[in-house]
């Protein structure tokens, strides 16, 4: 399914010569006009489906709520534009097996059945979450004592065998290990997994998942792993797993970005590095935050009281913000298109702005991070992405260039949490004191 790429492959240049500002203004004015009048701007017979436009490049997917079978208002948008679905929570260990041997597959079964009825590919997320507050505590306990290596690996084996075998042939891709790398100076995130087994648990997890479903695509998934320091740890991990002959097929880049702070060059370097390893890349949880959450951690959290009341776009997102978001989504998808040989899938995280996790994390605010607004209408970013996928834009338009960022002061957390833990302020990917 995956082929090995030559280490001599040259990246496609990301930024070409810009056109005049007037041309850029016309492109985005047309996108804004299309928002008000969707029938305008499309040539007769031109598909308006993201899924169809991406065909031949990569799969287009979306992470959605577990209860999508009970939300028929979302079905047309979902099936018109996406080919793959990731359930937000119902396949995570804390939901599937809260107590030893007590499995709860009710939501997952309904989700997989729904997806099959609409010919949507399913992504299983996730088998092992290498973070203690996202793993049922009993995994690491042996009575009143800490469980040892053999017991933890045996429990992992039972869990993976039960879950993957149940959906063999029905779930196409598994995020086998999620968020094992440290955000600070350590190699691996401190956890019950790494304390007992080092990185060995990951090699075992991939081998077990492959044995349970040899046709499934197996992914290592993380956040901020396109940034240089964490990318180097990721490459170290992947080389080690491949040396152990672990069946790793793809790298998952969550892709939770912020407006004006997207690390385009780091992302391209990561795509090239994956190609050189012979691995595919999956952009697994894409969005562009417009009410920047990194401010929450700036200055050691000194601004949190003020930010907790900060809701600048509750009455709507300003056209200038929508324009910049459209530009930056276009540049991202131009990069994805130019590296389509290494990208297997791009998945957004949530279907439309009203369902985004970024409305509640790390504080409650009205956010606008996706391609569709709260009324499920396409935004200028939708038109920009569609134009790139259809090849109707020009590579010579230079949109937002990289801006310097202080990664230590601007952590970009993961979305991997359910509504209850979001409201409690628990979230994967917090700064190093998490």
Catalytic machinery residues: 179, 285
**Could you give the angle at the alpha carbon of 253 between the alpha carbons of 27 and 308, nearest 5°?**
75
Q: How far is CA 44 from CA 37, 39, 52, 63, 383, in A?
A: 15, 10, 16, 31, 16
Q: How would you label 257-291 residue by residue, b for 16+ Cβ within 10 Å and e otherwise?
A: bbbbbbbbebbbbbbbbbbbbebbbbbbbbbbbbb
Closest listed residue to residue 329, CA positions, set 134, 69, 60, 87: 60
Q: How would you label 104-139 residue by residue, b for 16+ Cβ within 10 Å and e otherwise?
A: ebebbebbbebbeeeebbbbbbbbbbbbbebbbeeb
The whole-angstrom separation of Cα 22 and Cα 35 is 20
Please identify which residue in the block is written with the tokens 């000194």: 302
Q: Where are the alpha helices (DSSP H) in 167-287?
A: 192-197, 200-212, 228-243, 264-277
Contact (Cβ atoms closer than 8 angstroms) between residue 218 and residue 262: no
Helix 319-338 crosses helix 380-390 at what angle (to 10 degrees)?
20
Strands (DSSP E) found in 34-92:
59-64, 84-87
Q: How many CB atoms lie within 10 A of CB 354?
A: 16
Contact (Cβ atoms closer than 8 angstroms) between residue 371 and residue 317: no
Q: Are strands 173-178 and 217-222 parallel, antiparallel or unpaired?
A: parallel
The whole-angstrom separation of Cα 152 and Cα 193 is 8
Contact (Cβ atoms closer than 8 angstroms) between residue 415 and residue 254: yes
C-alpha distance across the termini of the chain, in Å? 38
Q: How would you label 183-211 residue by residue, b for 16+ Cβ within 10 Å and e otherwise?
A: beeeebbebbbbebbebebbbbbbbbbbe
């Amino acid at each position: 399914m995956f082929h090995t790429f030559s280490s001599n492959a040259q990246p496609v240049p990301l930024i070409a010569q810009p056109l005049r500002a007037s041309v850029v203004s016309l492109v985005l004015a047309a996108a804004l006009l299309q928002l008000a009048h969707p029938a305008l701007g499309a040539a007769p017979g031109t598909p308006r489906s993201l899924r169809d436009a991406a065909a031949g490049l990569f799969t287009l997917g979306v992470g959605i709520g577990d209860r999508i079978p009970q939300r028929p208002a979302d079905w047309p948008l979902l099936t018109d534009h996406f080919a793959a679905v990731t359930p937000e929570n119902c396949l995570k260990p804390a939901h599937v097996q809260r107590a030893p041997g007590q499995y709860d597959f009710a939501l997952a079964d309904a989700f997989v059945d729904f997806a099959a009825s609409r010919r949507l590919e399913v992504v299983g997320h996730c088998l092992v979450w290498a973070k203690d507050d996202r793993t049922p505590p009993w995994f690491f306990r042996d009575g009143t004592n800490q469980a040892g290596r053999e017991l933890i690996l045996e429990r992992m084996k039972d869990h993976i065998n039960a879950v993957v075998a149940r959906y063999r042939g029905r779930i196409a891709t598994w995020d086998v290990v999620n968020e094992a790398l440290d955000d600070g100076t350590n190699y691996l995130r401190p956890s019950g997994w790494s304390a007992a087994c080092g990185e060995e648990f990951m090699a075992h997890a991939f081998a077990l998942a492959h044995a349970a479903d040899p046709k499934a695509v197996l992914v290592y998934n993380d956040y901020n792993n396109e940034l240089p320091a964490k990318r180097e740890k990721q490459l170290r991990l992947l080389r080690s797993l491949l040396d152990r002959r672990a069946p790793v097929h793809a790298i998952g880049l969550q892709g939770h970005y912020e407006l004006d702070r997207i690390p385009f060059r780091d992302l391209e370097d990561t795509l090239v590095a994956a190609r050189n390893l012979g691995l595919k890349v999956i952009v697994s949880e894409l969005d562009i935050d417009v009410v920047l959450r990194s401010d929450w951690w700036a200055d050691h959290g000194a601004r949190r009281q003020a930010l907790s009341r900060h809701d600048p776009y509750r009455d709507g997102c300003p056209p200038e913000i929508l324009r910049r978001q459209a530009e930056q989504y276009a540049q991202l998808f131009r990069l994805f298109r130019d590296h389509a040989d290494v990208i297997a899938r791009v998945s957004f995280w949530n279907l439309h702005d009203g369902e985004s996790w970024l409305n509640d994390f790390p504080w409650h605010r009205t956010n606008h991070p996706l391609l569709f607004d709260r009324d499920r209408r396409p935004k200028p970013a939708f038109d920009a992405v569609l134009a790139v996928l259809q090849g109707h834009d020009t590579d010579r338009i230079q949109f937002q260039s990289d801006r310097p960022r202080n990664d230590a002061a601007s952590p970009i957390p993961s979305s991997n949490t359910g509504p209850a833990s979001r409201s409690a302020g628990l979230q994967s990917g917090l700064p190093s004191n998490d």
